[in-house]
Chains A and B, each alone.
Chain A
């Protein structure tokens, strides 16, 4: 019994029991459903073992949407708890766990996954190639992400959730003050999915640098591809910092080392530094692909080429470099003195310059355009003003002396939500609507899409603007309650109402997906939006091999030019196409990594050693494996091409 006790949740409440039941029911339902419809084989063959970037992208997409709802439920609970003063809906401990998991889930498991989803699906198509450089590793990336996400999410019902904030500052996150295994989950789950992210980074850099269609020089790449390249470079240099920090944190918690403790020479400030040396670039890992998506969508629906292509590229490069030089702005108040703070204030505010350049370039892309208000375009147009407000408040936060007053308050919370939601979340929804027809062969409903936009755009403002005010009135962040006399009540109530509006908006998107699956017409053209880049040059649904003939490119908007000026994209003859084989190995490694992580969290050392050996064996098998892939013969390709991409 003692052995099992460790898996119990320390402070079980109704929410936790409810989720246990919900998880059990969902699992059973999935298993029964798969068995009943005899879909196990299909699931295994077509999805779990796939190495196709398109399918991996779709799996990321589904995971990201699930995580959006996990994080969203957390958010609604928090806003409900703080909606009125002295509320007792949630206890302090519950609230702390919820805001911690909200932050981690939203940033690491939702936003990152969404970005990965769109990069995976779009980038190889957009650069006119057949897959990524390392398809098998790509699948491994996904399954590592998935293992990390699952591990993190079971913490709620097995052993207890982390409760020291998504930034997990030590010594609070150390064993002295966080006794439950919650923070172990944080350390290990982030580590596992972080390795997956790093592998993606390596994979996409190689893909983009080496596999572009003939003629597509770097300066002819579509803007989303550019943003992905830069993002992945940031990943490769930022994520190892997180790896090290998490390793140290894990050792402090499990092996009683003194990296971040308050005794024996440990240094709590080292964690804060390492965390933000990764953490600030991380927010740009999220926003740069979003910028890329907006560039694509705005130029498509303004029916114009992207204004200032070169300066868009250079400003992204500038942002990526600066993003490594500003981390101290997350703790101006740590006492490093006026000089250090002044320097980091200046680097921080400097980021506003390239960001501003991008905003003006988008505005001038719209100018003289012919703006079509589709759903993706609405989200992109909504992004510009709201993000501007988020951005200028970032500049305000960057002023060290003033930040002494904003830091750790609702003002900060308002800032980062007003950059992340219009910046990242809008981009993801816009991208979802935009590329959906390419992914699934039908369009999402425009009417419902527009409704969701208005709900979400207005609700974001309603939710987060009041926080500027309550922050300036002294409301600290991460407080589970406050007293009536503070006067924060009104602002938090408005915020709660906004949060409900956001929930409705997201529910509308899900309903839209359901509705469109049922009613949307399937006979859509391959290029339904009249778009400009190569992903629209192939059939819908996209055949396994993407392009029967690799396109040849002469300009940044090759596909557009082929439509308008009749440039020929496909000039070669069809030849047999080499394809990689599916493999169950990445999935199996994901499972072993999950077990490995679980063993680590609970200090089950024998299991840990066994699963480590298991991972070693997988790697060895991979090294010995002779997998040359297979060729699709020409006649098969021709048959597929005739049927417009459909198999068989």
Chain B
């Protein structure tokens, strides 16, 4: 593989550049996906049937913690990429691990949140509203879960091969993914939880 030294490693080869562009296109599709989910959410928001409305089940504390965890993780993945650009393997791996742990914490609290919803009578089957609420949160959560597995693969490869055009490319693309999930969460936080609680 020809490596272009004038570019950061993750852009270094032709295939790497293709991967990054391809991933951006994929994020375009993800935007369409979450856009559809949001549109459906606002269509069904008042369709609560016999079940509770958002304001009755949303709790501020867990959501705030989730937000802080995910925002921080977005910051740490940024640091990981920064370290990677400077060629520091150890720091890269450390920040990756922190990122994934924060993601794990986020998932834990999200699951707790789900249990609270169910206790308050908002199950997946309760109403059109609860169905879309669980679907949109669940889709985001599933993305985070997939991200955690993916991140583990990348960490183990960083351990094994160090910083190569291939691993850097993967790590960089992972960071794009992770930032994207963070952005989606900000939308969920503002337009589902904040708006719902006001």
A and B touch in the complex (CB under 8 A): yes
Given A134-B18, A265-B49, A270 and B36 contact (CB-CB distance below 8 Å): no
A209-B44 in contact (CB<8A):
no
B22-A203 in contact (CB<8A):
yes
Q: Which residue in chain B gives the minimum CB-CB distance to A238?
A: B32
A624-B153 in contact (CB<8A):
yes
Given A201-B29, A248-B40, A623-B153, A264 and B124 contact (CB-CB distance below 8 Å): no
A251-B131 in contact (CB<8A):
yes
- 0/1 interface trace, chain A 193-214, chain B, CB 8 Å (1 if under): 0000010011101100111000
Q: Note all chain A residues with C-beta closer than 8 A to B149.
A: 616, 620
Given A264-B49, A270-B43, A202 and B25 contact (CB-CB distance below 8 Å): yes
A270-B22 in contact (CB<8A):
no
Kindly list 15 other residue pairs between chains A and B, CB separation below 8 angstroms, not including A267-B128, A578-B1. Answer: A133-B22, A236-B28, A238-B32, A239-B32, A240-B32, A240-B33, A258-B49, A259-B44, A264-B126, A265-B46, A266-B47, A266-B128, A270-B40, A624-B153, A624-B157
Q: Note all chain A residues with C-beta closer than 8 A to B131.
A: 248, 251, 257-259, 266
B69 within 8 A of A: no
Q: Note all chain A residues with C-beta closer than 8 A to B47.
A: 265-267
A73 within 8 A of B: no
Distance in angstroms between the alpha carbons of A304 and B175 in the assembled complex: 50
A202-B33 in contact (CB<8A):
no
Q: Return A296 CB to nearest CB of chain B, in Å.
A: 25
A628 within 8 A of B: yes
Q: Note all chain B residues with C-beta closer than 8 A to A409.
A: none
> Tally of A-B residue pairs with Cβ under 8 A?
119
A155 within 8 A of B: no
B29-A237 in contact (CB<8A):
yes
Given A210-B21, A267-B43, A620-B153, A236 and B32 contact (CB-CB distance below 8 Å): yes
Q: Return B12 CB to nearest CB of chain A, in Å.
A: 14
Q: Note all chain A residues with C-beta closer than 8 A to B51.
A: 264-265
A347 within 8 A of B: no
B32-A241 in contact (CB<8A):
yes
Near A by CB (< 8 A), chain B positions 125-152 give 125-129, 131-132, 135, 149-150
A2 within 8 A of B: no
B127-A258 in contact (CB<8A):
yes
Distance in angstroms between the alpha carbons of A641 and B154 in the assembled complex: 42
Between-chain CB contacts (< 8 Å), 22 pairs: A133-B18, A133-B21, A202-B25, A210-B17, A210-B21, A236-B32, A237-B28, A240-B30, A240-B32, A240-B33, A241-B36, A244-B33, A244-B36, A244-B37, A244-B40, A255-B124, A261-B128, A265-B46, A266-B47, A270-B43, A274-B36, A277-B36
Q: Note all chain A residues with C-beta closer than 8 A to B125.
A: 255-258, 264
Distance in angstroms between the alpha carbons of A238 and B31 in the assembled complex: 11
Q: Note all chain A residues with C-beta closer than 8 A to B191.
A: none
Q: Note all chain B residues with C-beta closer than 8 A to A248.
A: 40, 131, 135
- 0/1 interface trace, chain B 2-38, chain A, CB 8 Å (1 if under): 0000000000000001100110011011101101110
Q: Most chain-A CB neighbours within 10 Å: which of B46, B47, B51, B149?
A: B47
Q: Most chain-B CB neighbours within 10 Å: which of A198, A206, A258?
A: A258
Distance in angstroms between the alpha carbons of A514 and B60 in the assembled complex: 70
Q: Note all chain A residues with C-beta closer than 8 A to B154.
A: 623
Given A133-B22, A206-B21, A247-B135, A265 and B128 contact (CB-CB distance below 8 Å): yes
Distance in angstroms between the alpha carbons of A569 and B150 in the assembled complex: 44
Taking a contact as CB atoms closer than 8 A, the residue among A236, A239, A267, A624 that contacts B44 in the complex is: A267
Q: Note all chain A residues with C-beta closer than 8 A to B150.
A: 623
A257-B25 in contact (CB<8A):
no
A5 within 8 A of B: no
B67 within 8 A of A: no
Q: Return A154 CB to nearest CB of chain B, in Å.
A: 28
Distance in angstroms between the alpha carbons of A136 and B84 in the assembled complex: 28
Distance in angstroms between the alpha carbons of A623 and B47 in the assembled complex: 43
- 0/1 interface trace, chain A 304-323, chain B, CB 8 Å (1 if under): 00000000000000000000
Near B by CB (< 8 A), chain A positions 278-323 give none
Near A by CB (< 8 A), chain B positions 87-144 give 124-129, 131-132, 135
Q: Note all chain A residues with C-beta closer than 8 A to B49.
A: 258, 263-266
Q: Note all chain A residues with C-beta closer than 8 A to B132.
A: 259
Q: Which residue in chain B gives the minimum CB-CB distance to A269?
A: B43
Q: Note all chain A residues with C-beta closer than 8 A to B17.
A: 210
